């Protein structure tokens, strides 16, 4: 007997159902195809990104250097400088976009993202403290991660009142975020300007100076978290039908919410820890993904991740090369994302 | 105003003319008590700080100024402007918050939460950076424009869709717009070290180090706007019954809304211009006041004015005391005190819908 049995889903065009003895999975292959196309684009863009810079390298040269051929100078530039940065942009963009997608589904509100409900503020306070007091910068990601995780816990605990209400979660998050920002503001005036400046830069969110250590850390963490996030998407879909329906489908509501919140926060925390709070990726990319690929599902979640990677990589290229001064990537995501997002905000409210 | 047009809860529940009069008397007494509180907190603000100044010197500094006395010079040049600005900004923001809560019928309405303060901040930082403006009298108008623009965008976004602007929709639109404007503001600041050094002290929200000349520029809008708001209590009472009821009672709701919105924008723009974005005074104060005097805006507004003045000036004094020898900025203190209040509200009330 075959372990898996593929069949075209009779009701939904564009889907196939994968059955095994224990689970049946309906796969939206159209969206997976989208994801594949986006991945190819991503590869091309990433390669192109590595050709740019003060030391310009032809396309073919980059490809060669990545696999370890070509002259040593090129090898150094590509493999120690450009490749880690590009990979970091891709991974962080994917993590942010998926995190935003989960949050938006969870609270059934398209205007929510980890930066709105205070997670980034928590990472920010810890990181700014770390920077201005002059601790070892190698441990900065750990500090930021701790801040994000503690904040997420505080928000969860303070929102709990016999259960988690999505709207209460938003408001509690906004409150916590405001308190943490007050702390960050205090630190920023308490210390001399030359110590504060790097902290302000960090708060803009940038992936400047990423190295292989960052890449390893990111890859390791995301390899664990991202599959869990994709696997939990079906619970998110059930939750979106409303609490009553979800419960009657047999979903343990609060446990599902906890799992989703933890995975979304973990994704956001990893991204923020390494790059600082890069705005608007988590907020905006899920919208574009939904617009292109339709309502949330496991496949759409993957597609969202790839789109996030594309978006952040593109933004980082603009931040690095397109302008006379090299800016933190967060400035570009803000500037590019904002006008589009204001429009979306309006439209989104119409639909909610 | 006759007693028959007092529509709100407490009065009618107690019933009877005698108890109504007693209520008015006790509320007036409360107002007097708060006025005493304002005087007390003002004296504290004049006397307390890294240099503690005796009451006698405070008195002399105010009324028999002796230029040779160091303490009295501190009073005149530092503490007095700071106190006056604190009182005015606190009172103004609280009245603006109460007015916004009535107009939007939304318990979370507040200049900082709805993005109005960040609009003003962004406009001011832009003006400072690009046009090289340095004094509040120059950038005040940018503060107004920014506040107005942000308020319009947030209201427009939150009003779209079914059910109009619900508390959560308004708060979210405000926060998203704030984070957007915040990102742009920090980008501008980063481009220039000098702007960063100046702006970081202003963006944190503080009433320290502003001169009285600054205050006189914004006072007409800040104090004037708040005073006009005080006279709108009756209109806000009717408005808070809902649009349909208000219109059925013969009120031109659109006109009142517009008037109130303009006043709120003026107050907020002026407050941000002089003190930076100070949050949560406008949120917490009206709620505290309503818990004391009930929902009648004819009382809520004057109470808010005084309680807000006490809140902000008190926060300023606390900020000077707790972190000696340095200071905790007023905006930091109000956020640390006020944000838990938002969380409390979120847990208490049925804001969810």
Structure confidence by residue, pLDDT tens digits, A249-295: 888 888 999 999 999 999 999 999 999 889 889 988 998 898 888 88
Give the pLDDT mean for B71-75: 84
A178-187, B39-48, B129-138, B309-318, range with the lowest pLDDT: B129-138
| Most confident by average pLDDT, A216-225, B238-247, B335-344 | A216-225
Hey, are the CB atoms on B179 and A115 less than 8 Å from each other? yes
The answer to whether the beta carbons of residues A313 and A45 sit under 8 Å apart is yes
Of the two residues B216 and A15, the one the predictor is more confident about is B216
- pLDDT for B60: 84
Look at the alpha carbons of B115, B118, B124, B128 in this order and tell me if their dihedral is positive or negative: negative
Report the distance separating Cα B13 and Cα B111, nearest Å: 33
In chain B, the residue whose alpha carbon lies closest to the alpha carbon of A180 is B336
Nearest partner of B203 among B135, B272, B151, B153, judged by Cα:
B272
Report the distance separating Cα B143 and Cα B308, nearest Å: 21
> The domain containing residue A297 runs over which residues?
32-62+73-348
The answer to whether the beta carbons of residues B323 and B37 sit under 8 Å apart is no
Give the pLDDT mean for B300-316: 96
In a domain, residue A26? The reply is no
Residue B40, min C-alpha distance to chain A (Å) = 27
In a domain, residue A24? The reply is no
Hey, are the CB atoms on B108 and A171 less than 8 Å from each other? yes
Tokens 């600041």 -> residue: B189
A93-97, A333-337, B1-5, range with the lowest pLDDT: B1-5
Give the pLDDT mean for B256-272: 88
What does the CA dihedral B166, B170, B171, B177 come to, rounded to 10 degrees?
Answer: 160
For residue A326, the domain's CATH number is 1.10.3470.10
Residue A178, min C-alpha distance to chain B (Å) = 6
Total tally of structural domains belonging to chain A? 1
Give the pLDDT mean for A39-48: 94
Report the distance separating Cα A146 and Cα A270, nearest Å: 10
Q: How confident is the model at residue B4 (pLDDT cuts 50, 70, 90)?
A: very low
In a domain, residue A18? The reply is no
What mean pLDDT is reported for chain A?
A: 86
What are B152-175's pLDDT values in tens digits? 888 888 777 666 667 777 777 888
In chain A, the residue whose alpha carbon lies closest to the alpha carbon of B205 is A185
Q: How confident is the model at residue A314 (pLDDT cuts 50, 70, 90)?
A: very high
Q: How far is CA A269 from CA A13, A15, B15, B29, B196, in A?
A: 37, 33, 57, 53, 27
List the structure tokens of A175.
């409150």
- pLDDT for B294: 87
Hey, are the CB atoms on B332 and A185 less than 8 Å from each other? yes
Report the distance separating Cα B319 and Cα A246, nearest Å: 48
Angle, alpha carbons B73-B311-B51 (nearest 5°): 25
Probe site for chain A from B175, B207, B336 (most A CB atoms < 10 A): B175
Q: How many CB atoms lie within 10 A of CB B224?
A: 16
The full DSSP string for A51-101 is H-SSS---HHHHHHHHTT-S-HHHHHIIIIIIHHHHHHHHHHHHHHHHHHH
Q: How confident is the model at residue B7 (pLDDT cuts 50, 70, 90)?
A: very low
Instruction: Provide the edge-to-edge strand list for the sheet that holds A24-28.
Output: A5-8, A15-19, A24-28
In chain A, the residue whose alpha carbon lies closest to the alpha carbon of B195 is A193
The full DSSP string for A126-148 is HHHHHHHTT--GGGHHHHHHHHH
pLDDT score of A341 more than 90: no
List the structure tokens of A124.
């920010």
In a domain, residue A1? The reply is no
In a domain, residue A21? The reply is no
Closest to A349 (Cβ–Cβ): which among B160, B332, B352? B160
What are A155-165's pLDDT values in tens digits? 999 999 888 88
pLDDT score of A227 more than 80: yes
Contacts of B353 in chain A (CB under 8 A): 167
Nearest partner of A260 among A229, A238, A289, judged by Cα:
A229
List the structure tokens of B242.
């809902």
Report the distance separating Cα A268 and Cα A149, nearest Å: 9
In a domain, residue A8? The reply is no
In a domain, residue A67? The reply is no
- Name the strand (E) or helix (H) holding B59: helix B55-63
The full DSSP string for B218-269 is HHHHHHHHHHHHHTTHHHHHHHTT-HHHHHHTT--HHHHHHHHHHHHHHHHH
Closest to A342 (Cβ–Cβ): which among B153, B338, B353? B153
- pLDDT for A44: 94
Residue B280, min C-alpha distance to chain A (Å) = 9
Hey, are the CB atoms on B193 and A197 less than 8 Å from each other? yes
Of the two residues A55 and B10, the one the predictor is more confident about is A55
Contacts of B346 in chain A (CB under 8 A): 159, 168, 171-172, 175
Q: How far is CA B98 from CA A263, B30, B93, B219, B295, in A?
A: 39, 18, 9, 19, 11
Of the two residues A65 and B172, the one the predictor is more confident about is A65
Contacts of B276 (CB under 8 A, 6+ apart): B121, B202, B203, B204, B205, B206, B331
In a domain, residue A4? The reply is no
Report the distance separating Cα B48 and Cα B131, nearest Å: 38
Closest to A179 (Cβ–Cβ): which among B158, B200, B335? B335
Contacts of B198 (CB under 8 A, 6+ apart): B128
- pLDDT for B241: 85
| A42 backbone dihedrals φ, ψ, rounded to 5° | -60, -45
What mean pLDDT is reported for chain B?
A: 84
Report the distance separating Cα B73 and Cα A197, nearest Å: 35
């Amino acid at each position: 007997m075959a372990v898996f049995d593929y069949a075209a889903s009779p009701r939904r065009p564009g889907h196939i159902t994968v059955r095994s003895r224990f689970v049946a999975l309906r796969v939206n292959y159209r969206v997976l195809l989208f994801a594949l196309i986006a991945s190819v684009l991503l590869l091309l863009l990433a390669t192109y990104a590595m050709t740019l810079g003060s030391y310009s390298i032809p396309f073919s040269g980059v490809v060669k250097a990545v696999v370890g051929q070509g002259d040593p100078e090129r090898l150094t530039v590509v493999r120690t400088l450009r490749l880690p940065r590009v990979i970091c942009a891709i991974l962080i963009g994917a993590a942010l976009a998926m995190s935003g997608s989960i949050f938006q589904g969870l609270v059934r509100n398209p205007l929510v993202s980890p930066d709105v409900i205070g997670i980034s503020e928590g990472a920010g306070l810890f990181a700014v403290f770390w920077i201005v007091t002059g601790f070892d910068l190698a441990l900065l990601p750990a500090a930021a991660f701790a801040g994000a995780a503690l904040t997420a816990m505080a928000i969860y605990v303070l929102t709990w009142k016999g259960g988690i209400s999505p709207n209460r979660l938003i408001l509690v998050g906004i409150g916590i975020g405001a308190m943490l920002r007050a702390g960050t503001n205090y630190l920023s005036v308490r210390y001399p300007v030359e110590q504060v400046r790097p902290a302000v830069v960090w708060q803009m969110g940038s992936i400047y100076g990423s190295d292989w250590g960052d890449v390893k850390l990111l890859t390791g963490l995301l390899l664990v978290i991202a599959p869990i996030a994709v696997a939990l998407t079906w619970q998110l879909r059930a939750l979106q039908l409303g609490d009553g329906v979800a419960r009657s489908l047999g979903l343990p509501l609060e446990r599902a919410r906890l799992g989703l919140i933890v995975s979304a926060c973990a994704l956001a925390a990893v991204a923020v820890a390494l790059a600082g709070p890069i705005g608007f990726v988590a907020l905006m990319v899920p919208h574009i993904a939904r617009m292109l690929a339709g309502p949330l599902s496991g496949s759409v979640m993957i597609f969202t991740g790839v789109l996030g990677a594309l978006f952040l990589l593109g933004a980082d290229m603009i931040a690095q090369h397109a302008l006379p001064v090299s800016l933190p990537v967060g400035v570009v995501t803000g500037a590019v994302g904002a006008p589009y997002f204001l429009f979306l905000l309006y439209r989104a409210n119409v639909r909610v | 105003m006759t007693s028959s047009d007092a529509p709100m809860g407490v009065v009618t529940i107690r019933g009877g003319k005698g108890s109504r009069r007693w209520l008015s008397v006790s509320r007036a007494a409360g107002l007097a008590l708060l006025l005493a509180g304002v005087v007390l907190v003002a004296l504290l603000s004049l006397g307390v700080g890294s240099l503690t100044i005796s009451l006698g010197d405070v008195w002399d500094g105010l009324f028999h100024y002796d230029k040779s006395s160091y303490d009295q010079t501190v009073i005149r040049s530092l503490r007095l402007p700071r106190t006056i600005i604190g009182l005015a900004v606190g009172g103004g923001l609280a009245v603006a918050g109460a007015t916004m809560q009535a107009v939007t019928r939304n318990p979370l309405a507040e200049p900082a939460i709805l993005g109005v303060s960040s609009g003003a901040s962004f406009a001011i930082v832009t003006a400072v950076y690009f046009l090289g403006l340095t004094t509040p009298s120059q950038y005040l108008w940018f503060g107004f424009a920014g506040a107005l623009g942000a308020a319009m965008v947030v209201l427009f976004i939150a009003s779209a869709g079914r059910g109009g602007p619900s508390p959560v929709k308004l708060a979210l639109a405000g926060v998203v717009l704030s984070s957007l404007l915040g990102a742009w503001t920090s980008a501008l600041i980063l481009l220039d070290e000098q702007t960063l050094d100046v702006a970081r002290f202003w963006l944190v929200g503080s009433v320290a180090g502003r001169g009285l000349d600054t205050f006189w520029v914004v006072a007409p809008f800040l104090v004037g706007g708040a005073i006009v708001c005080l006279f709108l209590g009756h209109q806000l009472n009717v408005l808070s019954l809902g649009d349909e009821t208000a219109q059925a009672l013969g009120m031109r709701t659109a006109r009142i809304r517009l008037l109130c919105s303009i006043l709120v924008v003026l107050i907020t723009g002026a407050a941000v211009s002089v003190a930076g974005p100070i949050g949560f005074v406008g949120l917490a104060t009206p709620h505290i006041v309503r818990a004391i005097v009930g929902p009648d805006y004819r009382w809520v507004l004057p109470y808010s004015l005084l309680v807000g003045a006490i809140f902000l000036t008190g926060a300023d004094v606390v900020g000077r005391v707790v972190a000696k020898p340095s200071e905790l900025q007023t905006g930091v203190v109000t956020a640390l005190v006020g944000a838990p209040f938002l969380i409390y509200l979120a847990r208490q009330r049925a804001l969810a819908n």
